[in-house]
Structure 1
Amino acid sequence: MNKYVFISGGELFNKGAQAMTFIAVDQMKRRFPDAEIVLLSTSDYKRSEEEKSTYRFTILPFSTGWIYDYISGPISSAYKLKNLVKKPAKSQYQNEKEKIGKMLNDVVAWIDISGYALSSQFTANRSLDFLLRILTAKNYGIKMAIMPQSFGPFSYKGKNKVLIDYLMKKTMPYPVKIYAREQEGYDILTNELGLKNVERTYDMVLMSKELDLTNVYKELPEFPSYEDVESAIGIVPNEENFKHGKSEDVYAAYKYAIETALKHDKSVYILRHSHNDKEVCQNIKNMFKQEEVILLDKDISSLEFDILVEKLDFIIGSRFHSIVHSYKNHVPCIAIGWATKYHELLKLFGQYDYMFDVRESLDKDKLNAAVVKLLNEYENESKVISGKLADVQNSTDLFKVF
């Protein structure tokens, strides 16, 4: 009989999500060596067969709409009743839907690595997707764990509030463990929902000590060495900043920071940690004619990012996991972010002087002072980060529940 391990909430386009996916694949393969590891990701299923064949895990599409056919109970009944009135379009991936339906009886473990899904800050469907995955695992008696991620707030409104509140009460006590990445999320889950299965921990990528790539790739890929990179900083923007802050202020912050670095004879590499940031990276590059401002206009893997970031003096990062990857390589960061997770991460590493929130006023003078300080103190800050990283990585085994 075939056995399967499901990984949901992961993907390979965003490099933070990719890093979490690789870690999850490796760790679950160690615990279930005879099981087929399955990444549920529709966007990655669309990759070429040649590329998908390089991995030692299977990629399958997954749709929330399918879940109503997989589960029983009032939610499924209501959905099917609605479809009697209005017949839904036939699934683009009907064969894959049926395949997953058959697999569910033989899934031995399911982990979710969403990063940040259950929150009223996003569309209601994002929360529903997350909760219905748990409901599916519960329906089939599959052992499930929610890997470190952010939670809350839960300020849902209207009919969405009724449905999501119902689903949270029905599903959130089910996983054997829910790891809350920030104290704020832990407090919301334990106080508002009264959950007993929650543990406060750190980011999964940050806590990972080693990665066995033979569990991820059939043949190990080769990456550039970036040996020519020296006396340089990195800029890693995030399109989300422009949704939570004023666009002109955010662009001005990146521009001002780069100008300060150039005045101190540093080269500047503009990198994208997610494919979604391609346009933002190009817009920042367009502000500068100097050859010292270099746009790395390609998608690089999380593994290649590790190699490059290690060569940099520091980064100005807006993707959460770009900061995580930097800290893992003892590289300091100035964070220009939009959520609680940035604040707690920088406080954890004693780096809060370098925190800038786009939801607040971006102080040019303060930003300039932070850039100048890191230009002079990046080696000392690196030692501070190194010391704290050892504590974080020795804190707990996230996969102990399996």
Structure 2
Amino acid sequence: MTVDIRGVNTVNKGAQLMLEAAVERLAPDFPLTAGPIQTAYRVRASLGLEQSLSITGRPLASARLGNLIPSKVRRWYGLVADKDLSGVVDASGFAYSDTFGAARALREASVARRWKRRGVGYVMLPQAFGPFKEKATADATRRLLEQADLVFVRDRVSAEYLDGLRVDVRAQLMPDFTIGLDVPKISPVATESSFIAIVPNKKMYTTGAVEKERYVEDLVRYGSVARSNHGLEPIVITHEVGDADLGEELAYRLGTRVVTDSSPRVLKAMIGQAHAVVASRFHAVVGGLSQGVPTLAYGWSHKYKELLRDFDAETWITSPKDDARDRVDTLLADDATLTAVKAARSSLTGQVDDMWAQTKRALTR
């Protein structure tokens, strides 16, 4: 009974965090696989994952070719053919939307139809969806959803987008499933003073949410206000390799340093040490809130505001229109919201436990 974890990768550290969360919960019950293109061998090996023979860009062709490899050869090299799968979980996070187009949903739907005919359990783990204004994206996503045994949706806005597709599937609201993921003990990020973590995301300007220069100026302003008004040293934490240049630019303009790590759990631990966080990476926001750190979300899609709602912290959203001084001062004085955030964690982790219980039942039906 082998389960394939799809939609994850080890370049995006939020995606890797979701991979690690899925392995932690599913590995005691199932042998697990992940694809070779998206996930580094070093990470797969450390997590005890075998390698599926599915290539994301050519799922049907790779499934057919992989099925032809003799079983003895597959065992020798730790390979898993599509025909050996008994279950599949999609841990994409945010992939089915006009933002990303129809291609991925079409590819996944093509293999999901085969799984359904074979009785392979298929679960879409909590993720954001939509919008679906483009007919091609809407049609492709509808086809994919029709193959699923369970669909978990991460927020109310995404649920409304799915309702608009009028597909015969009940999507259940569930929070992000990395909330309860533990972190390792690490050395102090800052030894001489408390710090505010600045976590940038180039998608803020590549998606058109804000112009790059305005975005950089905003983050510099947040860091400068935290330093001058509250004695917090701004430290830039880069959550992704693709944000490295942006992080260096911010650090130069703030007169500070950049810290990072290849492990998403270490990154989460770094964020947990901060006195406050301003973040544009979704799982950096999750990392701050789930560890009870005052966190301003400066995001590019609806998923950020909805995440804050899960933690009863809707006011901790910020945008280019906001005054940095006011937002930082208010965040650090907002003891009532911080208390609510800490209280919300227990309820949210309980919901995640229920989600995993349902998932395991669907995969063993």
Q: Does 1:374 align with 2:320?
A: no
| Aligned partners of 1:317 and 1:333 also within 8 Å | yes
Q: Does 1:384 align with 2:346?
A: no
Query: Aligned partners of 2:306, 2:252: CA distance in 1, in Å?
Result: 33
Cα distance change, pair 173–101 in 1 and its aligned pair in 2 (3 A): farther
Partner of residue 332, structure 1: 294
1:269 alignment partner, SS class:
strand
| Aligned partners of 1:70 and 1:136 also within 8 Å | no
Cα distance change, pair 372–102 in 1 and its aligned pair in 2 (3 A): closer
Select which of 232, 235, 252 maps to 1:286: 252
Residue type of the alignment partner of 1:54: S
| Aligned partners of 1:229 and 1:311 also within 8 Å | no
Q: Does 1:276 align with 2:271?
A: no
Q: Does 1:249 align with 2:202?
A: no
Query: Aligned partners of 1:229, 1:29: CA distance in 2, in Å?
Result: 41
Cα distance change, pair 60–295 in 1 and its aligned pair in 2 (3 A): same
Select which of 280, 288, 307 maps to 1:318: 280
2:253 alignment partner, SS class:
coil
Query: Aligned partners of 2:29, 2:45: CA distance in 1, in Å?
Result: 23
Q: In the TM superposition, what are the counterparts of 1:3-402 in structure 2 within 5 Å?
A: 3-32=1-30, 35=31, 37-45=32-40, 47=41, 52-60=44-52, 62-69=54-61, 103-156=81-134, 161=136, 166-206=139-179, 208=180, 223-226=186-189, 228=191, 230-243=193-206, 244=208, 245-264=210-229, 265-289=231-255, 293-296=256-259, 298-357=260-319, 362-365=320-323, 367-377=324-334, 381-395=337-351, 397-401=354-358, 402=360
TM-score, length-scaled by structure 1: 0.78
Partner of residue 78, structure 1: none
Task: State the percentage of identical aligned residues.
Answer: 20
| Aligned partners of 1:10 and 1:113 also within 8 Å | yes
Where do 5+ consecutive residues of structure 1 fail to align?
A: 73-89, 214-220
2:3 alignment partner, SS class:
strand
Partner of residue 81, structure 1: none
Deviation at 1:204, TM superposition (A): 1.1
1:204 alignment partner, SS class:
coil
| Aligned partners of 2:6 and 2:89 also within 8 Å | yes
1:273 alignment partner, SS class:
coil
Residue type of the alignment partner of 2:16: Q
| Aligned partners of 1:256 and 1:364 also within 8 Å | no
Cα distance change, pair 130–170 in 1 and its aligned pair in 2 (3 A): closer
Residue type of the alignment partner of 1:141: G
Cα distance change, pair 295–140 in 1 and its aligned pair in 2 (3 A): same
Residue type of the alignment partner of 1:231: S
Deviation at 1:167, TM superposition (A): 4.1
Deviation at 1:319, TM superposition (A): 0.4
More off after superposition, 386-395 vs 19-28 = 386-395
1:398 alignment partner, SS class:
helix
Deviation at 1:222, TM superposition (A): 7.7
2:100 alignment partner, SS class:
coil
| Aligned partners of 2:234 and 2:254 also within 8 Å | no
Deviation at 1:140, TM superposition (A): 3.4
More off after superposition, 280-289 vs 120-129 = 120-129
Deviation at 1:383, TM superposition (A): 2.0
The aligned length equals 349
Cα distance change, pair 55–400 in 1 and its aligned pair in 2 (3 A): closer
Query: Aligned partners of 2:176, 2:188: CA distance in 1, in Å?
Result: 27
Query: Aligned partners of 1:95, 1:131: CA distance in 2, in Å?
Result: 24
Cα distance change, pair 305–189 in 1 and its aligned pair in 2 (3 A): same
Deviations 1:142-168, CA, capped at 9 Å, x for gaps? 1010000011112225xxx2xx55544
Residue type of the alignment partner of 2:90: D
Query: Aligned partners of 1:230, 1:300: CA distance in 2, in Å?
Result: 25
Deviations 1:62-100, CA, capped at 9 Å, x for gaps? 42453333679xxxxxxxxxxxxxxxxx99xx979x969
| Aligned partners of 2:59 and 2:107 also within 8 Å | no
| Aligned partners of 1:330 and 1:385 also within 8 Å | yes
Query: Aligned partners of 2:270, 2:57: CA distance in 1, in Å?
Result: 40
Query: Aligned partners of 1:329, 1:153: CA distance in 2, in Å?
Result: 30
Cα distance change, pair 200–229 in 1 and its aligned pair in 2 (3 A): farther
Query: Aligned partners of 2:294, 2:186: CA distance in 1, in Å?
Result: 23
Query: Aligned partners of 2:62, 2:39: CA distance in 1, in Å?
Result: 22
Query: Aligned partners of 2:111, 2:233: CA distance in 1, in Å?
Result: 45
| Aligned partners of 1:315 and 1:333 also within 8 Å | yes
Query: Aligned partners of 1:395, 1:102: CA distance in 2, in Å?
Result: 32
**Rg bigger for which structure?**
1
Deviations 1:159-218, CA, capped at 9 Å, x for gaps? xx2xx5554444312211100111121122234223333111111112x3x56x9xxxxx
Partner of residue 218, structure 1: none
Deviation at 1:25, TM superposition (A): 0.9
